[in-house]
Amino acid sequence: MNDDLSLYIDDILNALGDSSEKEVSREELEKELKKFIEYGVPLDHAKQTLIKKFGGSYVPPSTERVLVADLESGQNSVHVLCRVLHVSPKDITVKGEARKIFYGILGDESGSISFTAWKDFELEKGDVVEISNAYTKEWQGDTKLNFGDRTKIEKTDESKIPESIMEPKEYKVKDLRSGLGAVEVTARILELNKREVEVDGQKKNVFSGTLGDETGKAQYTSWHDFKLKEGDVVKIAGGYIKSWKGIPQLTFDEKANVEKVESSTISKKDIAPQKLLLYELVEKRGAMDVEVEGTVLEIRRGSGLVMRCPECNRVLVGTECSIHGSVEGVEDLRIKLVVDDGTGVVSGILDKESTEKLLGKTLDELKKMSETKGEESIVEEMNTILFSHRISLRGNALGDAFGITIIAKDAKLADIDVEVESERISKELEELS
């Protein structure tokens, strides 16, 4: 197939996005598009017809500038005027072929957004660029700008988006999300690790770890030695946010302004897990160190005793690790469950310690039980103790295409004492009246 055709198919698929009513494959579109060409239909017209046919809405190419804050996913032929806040190359493999792509963050007077450039547009940090024919897509809950073969990028006068417009804006940790650039955060350094990496053949120290304020926790990476120490409270101005599975990561380098502030500004005890309703967590698509509560709807398959690979910790099938082959397994215990609080649903994975605590039995005791009463007796026990009971989970919430999974560091039964609760509510009502 010629490349041009493939680009038109990309456009159609982009326009259909995830919201299309009908599923359509690339092959099907190619067949349809070729039929139009055989009949001499101009490609643009054919494209428009196919987008309509498969339930998308066609938006004609626009030359009008859109502000970054107004971009929504699934837009085609977008025109923006932006300053490049950050750009990095990335080597990827597409259909077995090595390719270099670029990702980064762009900003204008309304805000900032992540982008992926599928070829080298020679973008450099600080460039002010006019971009036309870009398209937007949803990626892990955020809108992301994409530059493909049809995208045109021209450098323009830097004064059109002066750097001062992009002055860091203050954020609380809980509001950090992927694609924010020019961020200012005041937070306590909770954890600090140093590692050495090679950048362009040169050894460099990278500092990373966890930080937090009274609203939440996030990860950070510093490409410069700001002499940070665990326990420091610092104001970091000029970082940007990437995220991994919904967990925000603040990245900054020597261009950022990092200042120590009075450590009592955020005391250690101010930093507690974020208590969230499940719909909030689902909307955020993940977060670090959260505490949630809900009713156990299901104990999922894979709960109980498992054997893990001693090298990679993967769960074995029989004695086989999918990476290391036949190995001597290490015994482990876990519960996989589904929790609902009436506002949303998430999955949870509980480790050995939490499982032993909830069931009131050690791994060895459960093993004996399984030997005498059969393997399913463990899951039966889990159901008796947990099913339709309220449970409180604390841990990191990781988001992906299938939803949110809480990797629980702690779990406890949280059934409300009905009498106490009704007394509390009636008291509250009395105070209101």
Q: Which listed range, 63-71, 254-262, 318-326, 419-427, lies at the site for Zn ion (CB under 5 A)?
A: 318-326
**Nearest distance in Å: CB 334, Zn ion:** 17
State the Cα–Cα distance between residues 339 and 345, nearest whole angstrom: 6
Contact in structure between 381 and 365 (CB atoms under 8 Å) = no
Please check whether residue 73 is in contact with residue 17, taking contact to mean a CB–CB distance below 8 angstroms.
Answer: yes
Q: Widest CA span of the chain, in angstroms?
A: 78
Instruction: Return the number of the residue (327 or 411) whose C-beta is nearest Zn ion.
Output: 327
Does position 323 interact with Zn ion (CB under 5 A)? The reply is yes
d(C-alpha 267, C-alpha 272), whole Å: 11
Spatial distance between the Cα atoms of 162 and 143, rounded to a whole number of angstroms: 24
Binding test (CB under 5 A) with Zn ion, winner from 46, 161, 321, 335: 321
User: Which of 4, 311, 364, 415 touches Zn ion by CB under 5 A?
Assistant: 311
Identity of residue 295:
T
The conformational region for residue 332 under phi > 0 = left, psi -120 to 50 = alpha, else beta, is beta
- Minimum CB–partner distance for residue 313 and Zn ion (Å): 7
Instruction: Say whether residue 272 binds Zn ion (CB under 5 A).
Output: no
366-383: b (≥16 Cβ within 10 Å) or e: beebbeeeeeeebbebbe
For Zn ion (CB under 5 A), the number of binding residues is: 7
Cα separation of 30 and 45, whole Å? 15
Least Å from the CB of residue 186 to Zn ion: 42
Pick 100 or 324: Cβ nearer Zn ion: 324
Q: Closest separation between CB of residue 312 and Zn ion, Å?
A: 3
Among 84, 309, 358, 378, binds Zn ion (CB under 5 A): 309
53 versus 314: smaller Cβ distance to Zn ion: 314
From 69-77, 249-257, 319-327, 346-354, span contacting Zn ion (CB under 5 A):
319-327
Is residue 312 part of the contact set for Zn ion (CB under 5 A)? yes
Interface pick for Zn ion out of 229, 324, 368, 424 (rule CB under 5 A) = 324
Examine residue 266 and tell whether it contacts Zn ion (CB under 5 A).
no
**CA separation, residue 92 to residues 51, 141, 228 (Å):** 29, 22, 33
Which phi and psi (to 5°) does residue 380 adopt?
Answer: -60, -45
* Residues binding Zn ion (CB under 5 A): 309, 311-312, 314, 321, 323-324
